[in-house]
């Protein structure tokens, strides 16, 4: 493997920063959502997007809506933390793995 074909560590480093910037906002999610967690952060190889996968005990859709309503504040925090030329656009999605796990638990309980 040549050095130029080695995957960059930069997306992983930026994902870590995104996680640290987003995490405090999770505490502000509405109580109806239950416990909300950031299960994964995937940064695109060109550093243009950071997809944040969100899991909530009760209402993950409302948790995502809340986080999206704080988008501009999150982007400013990320820009301040990274101090880089390219700041990825943060996007929130419900983590599909959580729902799959719930369905499996329901099937096993039957």
| Position 25 in a domain | yes
Give all strands (DSSP E) within the chain, no chain letters.
36-43, 49-56, 89-94
Predicted confidence at residue 76, as pLDDT, reads 94
Pairing of strands 49-56, 89-94: parallel
CATH classification at residue 55 = 3.30.300.20
Q: 65-90, pLDDT tens digit by residue?
A: 999 999 999 999 999 999 888 899 99
With 0-12 / 13-18 / 19 or more C-beta atoms within 10 angstroms meaning exposed / middle / buried, residue 59 is middle
Q: Is the residue at 3 inside a domain?
A: no
Supply the pLDDT for residue 1.
Answer: 45
Q: Is residue 1 part of a domain?
A: no
Domain span including residue 50: 8-109
Domain membership of residue 79 (yes or no) is yes
Which residues, other chains included, contact 55 with Cβ-Cβ below 8 Å and sequence gap of 6+? 36, 37, 38, 39, 94, 95, 98
Say if 20 falls within a structural domain: yes
Looking at the structure of the chain, the number of domains it has is 1
């Amino acid at each position: 493997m040549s050095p130029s074909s080695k995957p960059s560590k930069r997306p992983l480093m930026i994902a870590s920063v995104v996680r640290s910037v987003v995490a405090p906002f999770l505490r502000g999610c509405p109580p109806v959502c239950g416990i909300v967690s950031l299960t994964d952060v995937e940064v695109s190889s060109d550093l243009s997007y950071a997809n944040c996968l969100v899991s909530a005990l009760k209402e993950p859709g409302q948790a995502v809506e809340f986080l999206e309503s704080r988008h501009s504040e999150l982007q400013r925090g990320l820009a301040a933390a990274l101090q880089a030329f390219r700041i990825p656009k943060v996007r929130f999605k419900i983590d599909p793995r959580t729902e799959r796990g719930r369905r499996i638990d329901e099937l096993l309980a039957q």
